[in-house]
Structure 1
Amino acid sequence: MVMSIDKPTHEHPLWKHTGTATLSAAEAVLKAVLECLPSVHRLIYVASQATADLDQICADPETAELLRMHRLHVEPMADAGRAAQLAAWAARRGQHVIALLTGPTVPGALNLLESTSRPLPEGAALGLIFEDLALNRSAVDIRGRLTRQGMPVLEARDVPHLRDSVENVLRISRSAHGVASVVVDRSILRSAETLTLRPNRGEEEVGDDDRRRRRRRPRWQETGGPLRMARRLELNTWRAIPSPGEAIPFGFITVGAADRTLQHMATMLRISGRLPVLHLGLLNPVDEAAVTRILQRCQNVIVLEPRPGTMERTVLQVAESLRAQGESPALIWGRQLPPDESGEPVLLEEREALHPSRLLRRLEHLLQDLTPTSVFLENFQEEPSEIPVPVLMERFGAAGQQEAIRRIAHGIPELLEQEELDEDSDADEVGAPGREQDPIRVFIDGEPTGPPEGRVVYIETFSGPSFFRHGAAAIRQAAASRDTWLFLVAQPHGQDRADLERLSEAAIPKSLGERVRIRRGTLAETSRLKKMIRDSVKGSELTIIVIDDGPPTRFDVPAIEAELKEIDQQGFQPMQRIVWPADRASVIRQPPMLAELEVEAVRHAAAVETRSSRESLAWRWPPRLGGRIRLLVEQIEVHRSRPPIREHVGGGDGLPAPVPLHADSATWAVHIAGFRGPSPGLAAKALILAGSRMGYHVQARMLPGPIGAGRRAWAQVLFSRPHSEQESSQVSATIPWGEADLMLGLDRVESLLAVSPGESHRVASPARTRGVINIGLFEDQLDREVASQPVSEIAEHFKSQLHPEGQVVEDFTDLCRWQFHNERLADLAQLGTAFQMGAVPLSPDAIEAALRELESLGYARAQEAFRLGREFCQNPAGLRRPGEDPNAESAAQFMRRQKTPPLGRTRFGSRDRSARFSRLSQRVFFDVPGLAETEEGREAHRDLAVALRRCVIWGGFDYAEKFADAVVALYRVDRAETGRALTRKAILPLAEACLTRDSVYLASMAVSSEHRRETRQRLNVHLARGDRLEVRYLTRLELTFIRWRFRIDLRTSDWMAKVLAAARLVLPSSWRGTSRDRQVRRLVQEILLRAGTNAESDYDGWLAILSELHDMALDGRLRRINPDRLREMLGSRHHAED
C-alpha cells in the first residue's frame, strides 16, 4: 500500500515518484534520504553555501509537510562538530542517520570522531557526508584522517553518484557496525544535474522484494564487512578493462570528480571507451583485488584524484606487495606524471585533474598516439590576451570586515605621525614649547611597522569566527603581558550572532580586570574609530575594541540580501538614490560614458557627509582674507509607492521568433559571470527550468561566493541529449577553455575574470562564443576604484574575445535603471537579448513558462525584463535614454520648449523675457542656416541653442547677444565647402569660456527648471503616481583668515543653492569668476576674432587651433587650462602669418 499525497500548488520534485528533475546536490541528498530503504530517521546538516537549498525547503510549509509525513527530522546546525555529535547520539539509539557536514568547521567534526569513535548497536546506521573544501595544499586531508581511524570511506564523483551514495553509505555502516563516510568535493556540492526520480519510500515497503529486485540492491540485513558490501553494490567500476595477459601502455585509476573529468576529456578527443579506467568508489578499505588487476594489465597506471597523492600512496603499497611476491606491476604515477618527449617531468598541480582542459594539457604527450593531431588542435585554444585593467575584487563576510579593519590598523603609524605634527603646530601658535613624545614601534598582526626603536605596541585584528575560537586565550595572554596590546575585533552583524563584547568580558581573569578595557566602535564612523584607536595606543593596558559593521551594513551578506529581497519581490526600488557632481547641470555636451567619469569625480571630491578641517598657510603680506561657497555634490532621492512606468518603442508581441543557432549541436554551454538571487541565480534558474521542460539533460555548476551587493560569482549551465544515463556521464558541467557557446556577463569584474588568461575559466573564444556583456556598474560599485577604469578599453577587449557576429557589449544596468528603476533586472534583460540573437536553444513557450514560474516564486517583472532585452536586441536605437543623451533633442525642439514661460516664470515679466529670447534665437538661427546641413553641424547647432539659453542665466540678454554676435561673425567668413568647420569647432569652446562655472552659475543651473526637468525625465518621476523627489547638496564653505584656511563640507537641502542663485541678480558680472577664468574668456574670444579675420589666408591653421580647443572643451580640459597655453596658440599663428 502506497500512501496518497495531495499535490501542492507548486510541486517540488521531492514530491514526485517518476520522471526527471534537475536537483542541486543538497536536494539530491534529501531526495535520496526520502527514497532510501529502510527509512532514514534524521538528516542533520550544517548551514552553509552548499546547503542553502535545504534551508529553503525546510522553510516551505508544503515541503515541510512532506518531511513530516515521512517521519523525517531535518535539522540545521551551525557547527559541523555539533552536528556530528548529535548524529552519533541518534545512531546509538538505533536510528538511521545521515549528517551532511560542510563549511570551514569540518575539521572540528574530524577531531570529535577521532576522540569519541564507538561502535553502533545492531540495526543502526550512521553516514557522514564530508565536504572537502581543498582550498590549498595545507587544507585538512579528510580522506587520510578518516582512513587512519579505520572508517569506511566512499567518494562521490557527481550529483547522481552522490544520490546513490546516501543509501550505499548506510548499507556499509550497517554492515560494518560503525560509522561510514562519504567525501564530496566542494565543486559537486555546488552543482545540479537532471536525475531520474524514484518513488519515495514508506515504512511498509521495507520488505517489498519486487522493488528491491528492480533496483538490484542487496538485502539490508546482509553482513560480511564493508568490502563485501562494496562489491555487492559494485562501488568500484571498470571501463575498457584489458584482457588477461595484455600489457596496455597506460591505464587510469580515478577517484571522485576526476573520473567525470577524464570521461569529458576522452569525449573531447573522441576516444571514449578506449582508455582503461578503474574508478574507486570505495577508498577505504581499498579493494586490492581490483587494483591488482589493473596493475597487472597495464605498464603504467596514472592515479587521478581531487587531492593528488592521497590514494596514490595506497596504490603504491599494493604495487610494493606485488613486487614482494615476485611480480612486475605497473609503474605508479600521480602527482608526478610520466616525462614528456624531452625527458622533463610533468607535475599535476592541485585540482588540475578536475578541469578537462588542464588535464588534457598535462596528458597531451601520452594521448598523441590515440588521437589525430587535428583533433588535438581543435581542443587547444590560443592563449587569450591580457585584460587591459587590473581586476579589483571586493571581499564580503567576516573576511571582508576583517580586511577593512586591517586597513585601518595599517594606517595607525601615519595617524600617530600626523597627530605629532598637529600638536607641534598648536604649540608654536600659542608660544608654548613643543612636547617630545616617545617613539612607538607598532606590530600589526606580528609584522613590525613604524620607527625601528621605541615603545612596543602590539595590534591584533580578529574576524568574528576567529575571535570566537581563539579570543579567550588571546585575552588571558595579553592581559598578563606588560606590553601594550590592542585587539581590533570585527563584530558580525545580526541578532543571532554571538555578542563578542560579552564574550570578551567573560574571558577577562578577575585578577587582571583593571588592565583590560573594552570599547565599542563602528566602521560607519571612521574618524571616531581612529580617535579611539589613537587613544588606546597611548595607554599601557590591553584594549579590546569591538567594531560593528554599520549601520548601514557593508559586509554581512544575509543582511544585504534581506534588504534587496524586497526589491526583487516588488520589481522596483522604493527608494532610489543617485549622487553626482553639482556641476553636472552645467554640462553642455556630455562625452561618452560621462556617468562613470562623473562618479569618479564625486569620489575624489568628497563623500556626502558633513566634514570640517583647518589648513595652515604660509605667511605673506598683505595677509589673506576672504571666503568662498561652492556646491560640490548633488544627491537626489526618489521615493515611490508604485512601480514606475516608462513607454518605449516596440512591443514584445510583434517580435519575430529567433532562429536557434545551436539547434543541431550535441551540447550547449553558457557561462554566467555574476548572478543575483539564490544559487544558481535567476538567469541560470530560468535556463534550467526551460531546458528541463524541453527534455534536455541539464547540468549546472556555480560558485556562490559574494562579489557585490546581492550578486554572486558565476554559474555554468550545460544542455545535452544523451541516449542513456551512461552517456550522460561522459560530459561534465565544467566548460573547457574556449568552448562556451554563450557568455552572459552581468558583473564587469567577474566577466573580466572569465576571459582572463590567468584564471581557470577562459571560457570564450572568437570562433565559438557569443556574448552579451554588461559593462555598466551597479550602485555599490559607483564609489569604488573600479569606476575609474577606462570603459572603452574594457569594451574593446570583450569584443576581441567574442564571436564578431554575436556580441552585444552595452550598459545593461543603466538600461534597466532607466526602464525599470531596478538595476537588478539586468540579468534577465541580458538573457532576453541572447535569446533574440538565437544564442539560446530554447523555444519561446519554454522560456516564457520558466519566467512565469520565477515570478510565482517572488521575482517580479521577470517577463518584462526579458521582453526588454529582446526589444533591445531587435531595435537598440528605439531604447536610447533621452534623459542621458542630450542629442536626443534637436535644437529646434529645444528652442520651442524655451519659448514658454519657464524661462522666467518665477519673476516679474516672464512673458516679456520669453518673447525676447524667442526673437534672439530666431535672429541667430536665421543667420547660421548652414549648421543644420551635417551631423556635426546639427550637434553644434544644439550646443549654440543651449549656450544661448545659459548665457541669459549667466549674465542676462546683453551677455547672450555678445556671445551670439561672435558666433555669427565667424560664420559669415566661414567656408560652405568645409561644412562651416570653423564655426562648428568654435561654438563649444566659446560657450565653455563664457559660462564660467563659478558658485553663482552652478547654483543657478542646479535649481533651474531645465535641470529639474532632465532629472525627472531620467528618474521617471511622476508626481501623479505618488513619487516624491528630495534633493540635498554637499556644500563647501571656505574662510581664509591671515594664515589659516577653515573649511567645512556641509550637507544641506537646496536652500543654500537658491540663495546663491539669487545672488546673480545683484552681483556685477565683473566680479564673477577668478582672474584666470576672465583671462581664458578674453583669450578665447580673441582667438575667434583672429580666426575670423585671417580665415581667408590661413584657414587650416586656425581650424587646427579651434579643433584643439573643441576637444579641450569636450573633455573638460579647457576649464583647467593655463592662460599661457592660449597665448602660445595666438603667438604661433601670429608668427605663421608673418
Structure 2
Amino acid sequence: MDKRFLKEEGVAPYTGNELILKGALEGGVALLTGYPGSPVSEVFDAITRVSDLLLEKGIVAQMANNEGLAAARLNGARLAGLRALAVMKSVGMHVAADGLAIGNLAESKKPEGGALVIVGDDPWNETTQINSDSRFLSLHLHMPVIEPATFQELKDWIREAFELSGASDLYLTMVLTTNQADGGGSVQCRPNLYPRLNHHHRATLSSAQLPVDHTVMIPPHTSLREATLASRFERLLDAVRARGLNRVDPASGADRPTVGFVTAGLSYCYLAQALREMGLEGRFPILKFGVTYPLDEALLVDFAAGVDHLVVVEEKRDFLETQVLRALQRARQEGRAPRVPAVWGKKFPDEKEGFPVVRGLNSSIVFEKLHPLLSTLAPAAAAAARATAEPVLALIQDAGRRVVSIPVRTPTFCPGCPHRDSSTVAKALKKDFLNADYMAGEGRDPMDVIFHGESGCHSMLQFEPNVGLMQDYSGMGLGGGTGSGMDPFIKNKQVVFLGDSTFFHSGMVAVSDSIKNNQDITYIILENGTTAMTGHQPTPGSSSDVLAQRTFAQNIEQVVRGLSRDSVPIFRVNPGYQDAYRKLLEDVVLRPGVKIIIADKECGITYQRRVRREKKRVVKEQGYLPEERFINITPEVCETCLECTNATGCPGLAIEDTLHGPKIVTDRSLCVSDGACAKGKVCPSFEEVIVHRRAPTAGKEGTVDETLPSRAAPRLEDTWYCYTAGVGGMGSGVTTGILVQAGLLEGYHVLFADKKGLAIRNGGVYGHVIFSREPKIHAPLVPYGRADLLLGIDLLEAARGLDNRMNLRVASPGRTDAVVNTHKMPTVRTLLGKEDFSVAGLEEAIKAATRGYLGLDFAGVSEAYFGNRLYANVLLLGAAYEKGHLPLSMENLKKAIALMVPVQDREENLRAFDVGRRAAARPEEFSAFSPRLPGYWEVLEDRAQLLRASRPLRGRAWSRDYRRVMDEASRWMDLPEADRARMAQYVYDLIQWGGPSYARRYLTRLWAVYKKDTPARGHRATRAVLDNLARVMAIKDEVYVAHLLTSPEKRRRDRSRYNIDESRGDRLEYVHLNRPRFTLFGRDIQFDWRSRDWQLMVMKRLGVLRRLLPAWHRREREFLEWYEGVVDGFNLFTDDGAYDLYVEALSAPAEAKGYREIRYPKMDAVRSRVEELRARWNARVPAGAARSAQK
C-alpha cells in the first residue's frame, strides 16, 4: 500500500498520473474507469498499488474493454448519483465520442454526482498516432473543458470538476498533456473524501426517477435536451466564477499595460516562466482561464478593455484564440466593447509566424517567440529588461545552433518477448513466399503477403529488423477492416497481428466482419496475457482485474468459435517452438478464407518478474542461487554475419570489440536467456551455460575504501536544473526518484518529469529535475541551455539532449557540468550493421557543450563490482556528488536511495553510491574497467603460455616456435601496435588450427606483401592481408570450432564473466547448440546437436577427418586457395589508383562472413567483385608496368 494516497495534510511528491488518483480520492470518486494509453496509462498502475484502500472503501475501479464502454459507465454512475472518472488517451476519446456525446446531452438531475473524463494529449506526438487536440473534440461534444496549469491544480481541480459537473449536469473534460502526466512535483495534500454510496453500501434505484425524456437520447428527446445546453452552460459558468477557476494575474506597474496575455493549462507555466526569465514578471496582466470552454466572455471583455494587444499562448491549434476572437467580435457588435485589442497567437504582426501549431511548446520556445514580439508591442518594457533577457536569449540561440550526429534509437521488442518469435517466423515466411524457386516447390507463383498494422507492442513491427510486417495502420482493432477494403480487389494473402487486449477492445468485431464477408486473411492473435504496451494491465483474458481480484478469464478461442462455429480453422500454438510454428503458419496462410492462429506465450516481462521473484526467494532462504542458466555466445566462433541480430533485433545482444574484430555477445544485464537468437541455427557460437554454486559469491572486486569525507552541499541560490538521459531498463526513473526525494528532504520545492515514451521497448528515457528555494510557477522541464547537471546514464541519449533537432537542447558551456557513462549501448540499427556511432565523437560533442566533464565506463565498473551493469545509475549519482554537482547532502542522498530501492537491494545501491564517489575522486583507479584490447606483448606472453599449458605433448615446442616466428615477424615488419597485437593472435590461432607450419605459411605471404608495400601508403595492402588471410585460413570446420568452444582462454573468460570461484565449489556446465554437417559419399548429413564438452574434446582431436573427408568444407578450402592466389599477385604498383583497387580486392574477403549457406553466396560475391576489380586494375596497369619488389 502506497501511504502517500492516505496523506491528509502536508506536502508529498506525486507524478501527474498519481495526482489523478489522489485528486479523485480527495474528490469523492466512487467509480474509476477508462482504458490505458500513454501518457495516462500509469493511473491504472497507481490504482493497483492502492487496491486494498479502494476495496476497503467500496470504491470501484474497472478497466473497461474500451473507451466507449468507459464512457457508458460514466453515464450509469451519474444516473445513480455517483462521482465517476474515466481516464483515456486522446485517440481513445475518439473511440468514446458516441457514448460521451449521448451521456453528456442527457440530464440526470443529480447534482451530488459528477462525470469527469481525463484525457491525455500528446502535443509533441512522442507516443501517439495522430496530432490530436482533445479540446476541439470536447467542443464538438458540448463537453466543458477544464485545463489545470500546476500540479496542485491538477489534483485539486478534480474535485472542482466533479462539483461543476453536478451543478451543470454536464460531463467535463480535463485535458492533460504528456509533460503533466509524465511530470510531477510536491503538492499540498487534503483528506480523502470517501463516497457514502459505494460498493459496500448500495442503494436501490427507482426506475420512476429515471425519466426517459431526460435520459434516453432518441428523438424527440434529443432536441429538448439540446435546448437546455445554454442554461446548463450558464450554470457551469456561475459555478466557475464562484470557485475562482478563471483568474487575472494583474500587472504590478502603475502605467496602463499595452499588452495582456490570455492562456490556460501548462501553457500558463511556460508563459510565466518565460516572462520571469525575460525580467518581465508582473509587468503584463495575464488572464488565466481554468475552464477554456465555454469561455467566460464577460471576464474576457473586461480584461481586454485594459490593453491594446492580446497575446494568446496555447499549444497546438487555436482553440482558445478562436473563442477569444469570436467573443470580442460579438462584444463589439453588441456594443459591450466599444474597442477591442488586436489579438495575436498563431500569427504575429507583419504575417510572422506565431506560436507553433505543429508539435508543442516549452518555456524556451515561448521566450524565443515573445522576445521580438514584445520589442515591437511593448518596446519600453522590453528595453528595460534587456540586460536580463539578452543572456537567456543567447543561451537559447546557442543551444539552437548545436547539431550532434546521432543515430536514431528505434524501439524494438523486449528481450524475451514472445512477439519476437512470431516476427522472426513471419519475416522468413514473407521472404520465402517472394522466392520463385521456393514457391515452385509449393506449386504456386511467388506472392507478396500484406501485413496490416494494429495497436500494441506488435506495432514495433514497423521498425527494423521487421520492416515489411506492418504496412498500414487504420487504428486500434481496425487492421482486419483495412484488409477488407482491398481484399475483393487483390490476389495477395493478408495477415494481421492482433494483440489479446486489442482483440477484446475492438478486434473481435473485425474478426466477425472478416468472417461475414469471407475475407482471405489470417489473424495471428498474440496472446501474452497482459496489456503490455501500456504497463501490463490485465485483459479480459486475465484471471484477475486491476484491483487484483479474481475474475472470470475469457477465452479467445471460445469467443472466435462462438463467432464462427466450425467454419473457421483455429489453431493454438506456442510461438517459441519456431519450427512447428513456421510449418503451421505456412500451411494456414496459404489456405483460403479467414484463419485464426493464437500465438500463446506469456509476456517476457511478466514472466521474468516471476523468475526474479523466485530467485530472490531462493537467495533469501539459501543465501545464493545453486543453479543459473544463461545463453552465451563465444566470440571466437562468431563470424559477425549478423544473422542473429537481423533475425531478432534483440537488445539482449551487444557488440564487443576483440582482437578478431567486432563480435556479437550477449549483454548479461539485458539478456534473459530465452534462446531467441540461437533459434535460427545459423551459427555454432551459441551455448547454454549452467552455473552451479555451493556457497554465496564474493564481490567481484571486493569492497571499496569508503572513508572519503563527506562534502558540503553547494548552496542553492535560486533554481537548479538537472537532466538525466538513459535507455529503458537502466534505472533512469529510479535516478529521478532519488533526486526528487533527496530534494524534498533538503527542503526544496521540487518539480520533475520522467519522459518514458517507449522506454520499455529499448527507447530513450529523459528525466528533468528542478529544485528551487521558493515556490514559483515553473514548467517541469529544463529550459534550453539551462541544465546545471547533465547525468548521462547512456552516452548516446545524453548527446541526444544537446541536438537542436530535439526539443531538449539542455546544455551550455557556461553552465552545465556533465557526468556520463561512456559504455556503448548499441541501437538496433547498430546491431544490424546499418549504422554506428563513435564513443569518442559523442564525448567530444558533450565536452564542447559543457564546462566540466567526467566520462567513465560506469557500466563496466558496475559489472566489475556487482556482476551486472544495473548499478551504473547510482554510481553516477555518487560521482556527481563527489564532484560537487549536487546541491544535496550525502545524508539526504543516502536516505533517498533507501526510500527508492527495494529493501533487498538497499545495501548494494548504497555501496554503489560509495564506489561512484571513489571513481570520481580517483578515476585513474577505474580506467581498467573500460574496454581495452591487449597490446602486442600481452598477447604474445599470454598465448605462448596457453600453448605451453594446453598441449601436453607438443605445447612446449609449439610455444617456442610461436615466440620465434613472432620475434622474426616483428623485426621484419614495422607495423602499428594494434596490428602487431592482432598478428600475434592470428598466428596463435593458425598454430591451433594446423600447427606451426600452417602459421608460417601465413607469415610468409604476409611478409611477401609487406616487402612490396610502402609506409607512404600506410601499408594498407599489408594490413588488409594481415586480417583477411588469417580469417580465410582459419576455416571454422567442426574440428576447429570444437577447439574454440573448449579452449582454455574461453574458459578463463567465462569464469570471469560468471564470477566462478572453483575454490568455493563453483563450476560451469555447457550445452553447446551445434548443427554440424558432414559430407559422406556425396551426401550432406546435418543435424541439431546439443553437445557436451567431452564430446567436443573428442571432436577437436579429429583433425584427421580433414584428410579422410575430402569433400568436407571443400568450398572454404577452394576459396582459400583462390585468395592466396590474389595475395601472391600483389606487386609494387607505381599507379596509386591500381594500388587502391588491389587493396580493395585484398580486403574483399571481410564480407564473406557466416557459416555454409550464409557464407557461400558471400564467397561467390567476393570472387565476382575481385574479378571486376582485376579488370579495372588491368585497364589501369598495362602488362609490364607493375614491377615486383625483386626488380
* TM superposition score category, shorter chain reference: 0.7 to 0.9
Inter-partner Cα distance in structure 2 for 1:944 and 1:542: 60
SS of the equivalent of 1:688 reads helix
For 2:172 and 2:489, the matched residues in 1 are separated by 58
Aligned-pair distance for 1:394? 1.8
User: In terms of Rg, which structure is larger?
Assistant: 1
Of 265, 272, 278, the match for 1:263: 272
2:896 counterpart of 1:850 = yes
Matching of residues 777-796 of structure 1 within 5 Å: 785-786=830-831, 788=833, 791-793=836-838, 795-796=840-841
> Residue type of the partner of 1:720?
S
Deviations 1:398-452 (A, max 9, x none): xx9999979977887754343x5236479xxxxxxxx676989969565899999
Q: 1:967 touches 1:987 (CA, 8 Å); kept in 2?
A: yes
* Corresponding letter in the other structure for 2:785: G
Number of the residue aligned with 1:213: none
Which of 681, 697, 706 in structure 2 is aligned with 1:653? 706
Asked whether the equivalents of residues 153 and 183 of structure 1 are also in contact (C-alpha less than 8 Å), the reply is: yes
CA distance in 2, matches of 1:164, 1:482: 53
1:88 Cα deviation after fit: 5.5
Task: Pick one of 865, 879, 899 that aligns with 1:833.
Answer: 879
Provide Cα deviations, 1:516-555, integer angstroms capped at 9, x if missing partner. 322334554556555444434544332233334x46x46x
Structure 1 residues not aligned, in runs of 5+: 1-9, 205-222, 427-434, 614-629, 905-909, 972-979, 1092-1097
Q: 1:348 aligns with which of 341, 356, 369?
A: 356
RMSD of aligned Cα (Å): 5.8
Structure 1's 768 and 561: CA in aligned 2 closer, same or farther, altered over 3 A? farther
Distance of 1:1018 and 1:251 partners within structure 2: 65
Give the alignment partner of residue 579 of structure 1, picking from 633, 637, 643: 633
Cα separation, 2, equivalents of 1:75 and 1:565 = 27
The aligned residue for residue 280 of structure 1 is 289
Q: Distance in 2 between matches of 1:689 and 1:851?
A: 8
TM-score by length of 2: 0.72
- SS at 1:1057's partner residue? helix
SS at match of 1:1021: coil
Alignment check: 8 A CA contact 1:29 1:163 kept: yes
Deviation at 1:822, TM superposition (A): 2.3
Mapped to 2, the partners of 1:335 and 1:525 lie a distance apart of 59
Bigger mean CA offset, 1060-1069 vs 230-239:
1060-1069
2:722 aligned partner: 669
- Give the match for residue 487 of structure 1: 523
Supply the distance in 2 between the matched residues of 1:421 and 1:943 (Cα, whole angstroms). Answer: 43
Residue 322 (structure 1) aligned to one of 310, 321, 331: 331
Residue 99 (structure 1) aligned with residue 85 (structure 2): yes
Check whether the contact 1:488–1:544 (CA below 8 A) recurs between aligned residues: yes
Shift of 1:129: 4.7
Would the alpha carbon gap of residues 508 and 957 (structure 1) be closer, same or farther in structure 2, given more than 3 Å must change?
Answer: closer
Hey, what's the Cα distance between the residues in 2 that align with 1:140 and 1:52?
17
Structure-to-structure mapping, 1:463-612, within 5 angstroms? 463-481=499-517, 484-494=520-530, 496-498=538-540, 502-503=555-556, 506=559, 513=565, 515-521=567-573, 523-525=575-577, 528-529=580-581, 531-548=583-600, 550=601, 553=603, 558-559=606-607, 574-583=628-637, 592=657, 597-599=662-664, 609=678
Cα 1:325–1:105 shift into 2, 3 Å: closer
Distance 1:334 1:856, change over 3 A: same
Question: SS of the counterpart of 2:398?
Answer: coil
Is the aligned partner of 1:416 residue 2:455? Answer: no
Q: Which residue of 2 aligns with 1:800?
A: 845
Q: CA deviation at 1:474?
A: 3.2
Aligned counterpart, 2:230: none
The residue correspondences of 1:54-453 to structure 2 (distance < 5 A) are 71=57, 73=59, 75-78=61-64, 89=76, 93=80, 97=83, 99=85, 101-103=87-89, 105-107=92-94, 110-117=97-104, 119=107, 124-126=112-114, 128-134=116-122, 142-144=134-136, 146=138, 153-173=145-165, 175-176=167-168, 182-198=174-190, 225-241=235-251, 248-326=257-335, 327-331=337-341, 333=343, 336-340=346-350, 343-346=351-354, 348-352=356-360, 354-368=361-375, 369=379, 370=382, 371-372=385-386, 374-375=390-391, 376-384=393-401, 386-388=403-405, 390-395=407-412, 415-418=432-435, 421-422=437-438, 424=440, 446=482
C-alpha separation between the residues in 2 aligned to 1:869 and 1:487? Answer: 51
Give the match's secondary structure for 1:102. Answer: strand
Range that drifts further, 151-160 or 958-967: 958-967
Cα distance in 1 for residues equivalent to 2:140 and 2:1093: 72
Number of equivalences? 1034
Q: TM-score, normalised by structure 1?
A: 0.75
1:590-989 aligned within 5 A = 592=657, 597-599=662-664, 609=678, 631-634=684-687, 636=689, 638=691, 644-648=697-701, 651-655=704-708, 663-664=716-717, 666-676=719-729, 681-708=733-760, 713-722=765-774, 725=775, 728-729=776-777, 731-747=778-794, 750-751=797-798, 753-774=800-821, 776=823, 785-786=830-831, 788=833, 791-793=836-838, 795-802=840-847, 803=849, 806-809=852-855, 811-857=857-903, 859-860=905-906, 861-879=908-926, 885=932, 887=934, 891=938, 894=941, 898=945, 902-904=949-951, 910=952, 953-956=992-995
CA separation of 1:401 and 1:332: change in aligned 2, threshold 3 A: farther
Partner-residue secondary structure (3-state), 2:806: coil
In structure 2, what is the Cα distance between the partners aligned to 1:928 and 1:504? 69
What is the percent sequence identity of the aligned residues?
A: 19
TM-aligned CA distance change 1:822 to 1:100, over 3 Å: farther
Decide which of 1015, 1038, 1045 is 2:1054's aligned counterpart.
Answer: 1015
Q: Which amino acid aligns with 2:88?
A: T
Offset at residue 269 of structure 1 (A) = 1.9
Alpha-carbon distance in structure 1 between the residues aligned to 2:679 and 2:1143:
40
Q: CA deviation at 1:1023?
A: 3.8
8 Å contact 1:520–1:547 — kept in the other structure? Answer: yes
Aligned counterparts of 1:995 and 1:417: Cα–Cα separation in 2: 36
Distance 1:859 1:231, change over 3 A: farther
CA–CA distance in structure 2, aligned partners of residues 700 and 43 of structure 1 = 29
Contact (CA 8 Å) 2:699, 2:865: kept in 1 or not?
Answer: yes
| 1:694–1:986 Cα change, 3 Å | same
Check conservation: 1:931, 1:940, Cα contact below 8 A: no
Counterpart Cα distance in 2 of 1:459 and 1:592: 40
Mark the CA change 1:148 to 1:1036 in structure 2 (over 3 Å): closer, same or farther: closer
AA aligned to 1:115 is: I
SS at match of 2:757: strand
1:25 to 16, 27, 32: 16
Kindly state the Cα deviation for residue 708 of structure 1 after the two structures are TM-superposed: 4.2
Take 2:787 and 2:994, find their aligned partners in 1: how far apart are those partners?
A: 60
- What SS is found at the alignment partner of 1:298? coil
Tell me the CA shift for residue 675 of structure 1.
4.7
**CA spacing shift, 1:26–1:994, aligned 2, 3 Å:** closer
Shift in Å, 1:159: 0.8
Q: Return the alpha-carbon distance in structure 2 between the equivalents of residues 892 and 65 of structure 1.
A: 62
- Distance change (3 Å), C-alpha of 1:991 and 1:264: same
- After alignment, is 270-279 or 1114-1123 more displaced? 1114-1123
Structure 2: runs of 5+ lacking an equivalent? 197-232, 453-478, 532-537, 542-552, 641-654, 1011-1018, 1155-1162
Is this contact kept in 2: 1:159–1:193, CA < 8 A?
Answer: yes
Match of 2:1070 among 1021, 1026, 1031: 1031
Which whole-Å CA distance do the structure 1 matches of 2:8 and 2:451 have between them?
62
| Alpha-carbon contact 1:684-1:715 (below 8 Å) kept | yes
- 1:649–1:878 Cα contact (<8 Å) kept: no
